[in-house]
Structure 1
Amino acid sequence: MNAQTLAQLRQHADHATLTATPRIVPARHPLRALGTVAAIVILLAIMQSVLGNPRWGWSVFAQWFFADQVLKGLALTLLLTASGTVLGFALGTALALARVSGSPLLARLSWGYVWLFRSIPLLVLLLLLNNLGYLYETIQLKVPFTDILLFRYPTTQLITQLTAAILGLAMNQAAFSAEVIRGGILSVDPGQLEAAAALGLPCHREVRRIVLPQAMRSILPAAFNDIIGLAKATSVVYVLALPELFYTIQVIYRRNLDVVPLLMVATVWYLVLLTFLSVIQVGVERAFARGSNRNARPRRQRDRRPPAASSAPLALRAGGSISIQHVDKFYAELQVLDDVSLELGAGSVTAIIGPSGAGKSTLLRTLNHLERVDAGFVSVDGELVGYRRDGDVLHELKEADVRRRRADIGMVFQNFNLFPHLTVLQNLIEAPIAVRGATQADAESLALALLTRIGLLDKADSYPRQLSGGQQQRVAIARALALQPKVLLFDEPTSALDPELVNEVLALIEELARSGTTLVIVTHEIGFARRIADKVVFMEGGRVVEVGTPAQLFEQPRQARTAEFLASVL
């Protein structure tokens, strides 16, 4: 057998070996094994040093670990920790909300509190509160600027040592927690606030249901660090002679001189307490991380039956007419809208096109008062948006009234702005319940009908992060429709989508265009605008350059700038 034949046989054998199911041998990591051995040796050495040295006094440790005095001191430590945490974070939340409020004086007052109580050492604060009776013999509450007395009590009887400790820990904790909570609030995407406002959610519900649940993911790690620090800081109240854990241990070892064993009693109890807090932290963080993991299983998979009328067209509210009169808008010295006037009929479909920076999105946002105009006004069915008329003067409505008015003007955002911590179904029912006063059952029934029509009934219990971009935008459209608005605004609804996902969103908007709801669409999809719109508006430099039907504007533009723009994009 010659060499060539042998080589061919070897090649054939190697090929046969590769095509068979191979056995996988993981790579070896000798340094990891060496590191593991070293860690075991270190741990055993520490255990031998601690457990084998009789001077640690483990028999004394065992004698005192569950002693009544120690357990009473531990109970007081737990009380101080719990009280300081609850009161401190409650006050800290109020301070954080004040810092981000629109009131300059309230924000400065909050900042002043944080500055003062972060600067005062906790030990000094506790002593000041304990000696408050020296400064004020009584604590009284009167109606300001009158002699009407509502409450009066001797300070020394009202502020005991325990009360001073709780107040001091809470006031100190509030200053630090306020900044942690403020940081969490600022971490929430501004688009979430705009989406909540566009849906007309009341401010208190927006904070409770949208802002704080999302802020908690940023707040929790730092907040639990503060709570753990507070649990250890309770030892400082020994200056008030309160028998918490550390003070109790001090009293005992000064009596029997077994210092180290008793310090270990305190150390182990602190370890138990802080381990318990760490376990709670893991559970709480996991609860607030809902919707953050794309690969997580949906929250709850229920057998959803499509509504009987699933094949019928979307049944929506009749559209409203829109009047835009001489609207101006400035950002500082920059004018982004310049004397814009338009009349859009009820049930019409209007496409707004133009180059970037033309003011298209800003104009759209003035239609539901997400942007305040500097001159002019907008009305829907003759009713002003964001204002009430008093002769020749327009008075801006209170925010609560503006939000209620927005319920008739739905908005779909470029970046979806779905609430990530709520399931698809919860996203759809939030506004109907909070704004329209719908029952849970009625809101869910409408939401399921809408999800059926957009082909996403099986995603009702999924979180937004578990959907594709096209699916998220369809859910965003369904969320806006759940309020049964008269007008539906679309701010470049396909610009954040991959090209293959655009058609599914455009198909849904085309169906809406046949429903009778008034649509206003800012878009760069010129072919789509030509196909769907009754009226096309071309804008540039904050002005309306030309308005016409698709046939007229796209085929025979009257303005040279319109023709130039279309030539560059068609």
Structure 2
Amino acid sequence: MIDTKDTLKAPPAGDLGAQDLEVVPVRNYGRWIAAVTSLLALVGLSGSLAKNDNLHWDVVGRYLFADLIFDGLGTTLWLTAAAMALGLGVGTLIAVMRLSSSPVLYGIATAFVWVFRGTPLLVQIIFWGYAAALYKYIKIGVPFTDITFFQTETNAVLTPAIAALLALGLNEAAYASEIVRAGIQSVDFGQTEAAHSLGMRPALTMRRIVLPQAMRVIIPPMGNETINMLKMTALVSVISAHDLMSNIQDVYAQNYQVIPMLVVASLWYLALVSVLSIPQAWLERRYGRGTARGGATSPLRRLVGGAVGLTGKKDKEDGR
């Protein structure tokens, strides 16, 4: 007869010490293969571009820091900042109107989003640029009478820069309103009810309670919209707004060096987008504190941290 007590008896605690356990590290061979393959492809592409005589790197170097390019950069940055400010301000107002219980405000806001989001941005830019073909004069007076208090030519007011600002800003407002509306709706309604129970008015509740909590939802897509706005300013070249792309086109229309000048534009756009990504990442971490992803790090820190972490693990495995 087999004694089950003796069979199932656990071995003494001292027989299985920590020194007897074999630690097998996880080998991420696929990650290393992908990294090496990507690095080799990048080196090969860089070498082919460097040796390609058709790019005319001397032309790129000559115009990369030219005064004409800096003039266009100034206009591009000004248009981006002003259009985003206009779009965010009007978009927030439109978002609040769409959340209003008033059918009139809701209808006006919905019609605004429908028009400016439903038509291509290029069409809107051309429309604002050639608005004088529709209305030669801008008049302020009494409707359906000849009484006029103010009158001026449309072209004197809607310069190419102002037309570009209106087109970019109002188009952005339609998209920003949806982003802000989604952020507001992401905040639990109990927060609003608690604020109202404390005697806070709706406007103060929106400014002090709802919007600060909605920012963690608004910031990531709004940062993406800012970067997209920077690139979309290139479309205003169709009305000669003297932005970066407009000046680039003026240059290659004279020297016929299309590809080198497009390389110059691409390098500057890449540099500006990289700079804009820094405050976006900071704002995401700032408003994401206290959430599961609030401590998200930038891609550069992840790469550096990953390399350091892998080196540290290897050192531990080797007993160094």
- TM-score for both structures, normalised by structure 2: 0.81
* CA distance in 1: counterparts of 2:63 and 2:53, whole angstroms: 16
- Contact 2:285–2:294 under 8 Å retained in 1: no
Partner of 1:83: 82
Question: Structure 1 residues 171, 294: closer, same or farther in 2, change over 3 A?
Answer: closer
Corresponding position of 1:110 = 109
In the other structure, the counterpart of 2:30 is 31
> What is the rounded CA distance, in whole Å, between the counterparts of 1:289 and 1:283 in structure 2?
10
Using the TM superposition, give the Cα deviation of residue 188 of structure 1 relative to its aligned residue in structure 2, in angstroms. Answer: 1.2
How far has the Cα of 1:19 moved from its partner? 4.1
Aligned length: 285
Percent identity among equivalent residues? Answer: 39
Higher relative contact order (CA 8 A, sep 6+): 2
Distance 1:207 1:188 in 2: 11
Q: Deviations over 1:274-297 (max 9, x none)?
A: 11222121111112113325997x
Q: What is residue 263 of structure 1 aligned with on the other side? A: 262
- Structure 1 gaps of 5+ residues are 1-10, 297-570
Post-superposition offset of 1:154: 2.6
Residue in structure 2 matched with residue 284 of structure 1 by the alignment: 283
CA separation of 1:143/1:96 partners in 2, compared to 1, >3 Å: closer, same or farther?
Answer: farther
Other-structure match for 1:184: 183
Question: Judging changes above 3 Å, is the alpha-carbon distance between structure 1 residues 133 and 40 closer, same or farther for their aligned structure 2 residues?
Answer: closer
**C-alpha separation between the residues in 2 aligned to 1:141 and 1:287?**
46
Are the structure 2 counterparts of residues 61 and 188 from structure 1 closer, same or farther at C-alpha, using a change threshold of 3 Å? same
Q: Secondary structure at the match of 1:140?
A: strand
User: What is the DSSP-based 3-state SS (H/G/I as helix, E as strand, rest coil) of the residue aligned with 1:102?
Assistant: coil
1:41-440 superposed matches below 5 A: 41-142=40-141, 151-293=150-292
Equivalents in 2 of 1:86, 1:98: separation in Å?
18
- Kindly state the Cα deviation for residue 142 of structure 1 after the two structures are TM-superposed: 4.1
For residues 243 and 295 of structure 1, what CA distance do their matches in structure 2 show? 41
Please give the alpha-carbon distance, in whole angstroms, between the structure 2 residues aligned to 1:288 and 1:137. 48
Kindly indicate which of the two structures has a greater share of residues assigned to helix. Answer: 2
Change (3 A) 1:132 1:254: closer
Q: Distance in 1 between matches of 2:293 and 2:119?
A: 45
Change (3 A) 1:29 1:123: closer
TM-score after normalising by structure 1: 0.47
Cα distance change of structure 1 residues 287 and 145 upon mapping to structure 2, 3 Å threshold: farther
Alpha-carbon displacement from aligned partner over 1:105-157 (angstroms, at most 9, x marks no partner): 11101100110111222222222222222333332334789988654433221
Q: Partners of 1:252 and 1:294 in 2: how far apart?
A: 46
Distance in 1 (CA, whole Å) between partners of 2:272 and 2:78 is 12
Change (3 A) 1:40 1:137: closer
Q: Kindly provide the amino acid, as one letter, of the partner of residue 197 in structure 1.
A: H
| Distance in 2, Cα, partners of 1:29 & 1:125 | 51
| C-alpha distance in structure 1 between counterparts of 2:154 and 2:180, whole Å | 32
- What is the deviation of 1:212? 1.0
Deviations 1:479-510 (A, max 9, x none): xxxxxxxxxxxxxxxxxxxxxxxxxxxxxxxx
Measured in 2, the distance between the counterparts of 1:274 and 1:160 equals: 27
Q: Counterpart amino acid of 1:60?
A: V
Deviation at 1:104, TM superposition (A): 0.8
Q: CA RMSD in A?
A: 2.6
Distance in 1, Cα, partners of 2:293 & 2:77: 38
43-52 or 140-149: bigger deviation:
140-149
Report the residue type matching 1:286 in the other structure. R
Consecutive unaligned residues in structure 2, runs of 5 or more: 1-10, 296-320
> Structure 1's 268 and 190: CA in aligned 2 closer, same or farther, altered over 3 A?
same
Q: 1:194 to 1:78 in 2, by over 3 A?
A: same
List 4+ stretches of structure 1 deviating above 6 A. Answer: 143-148
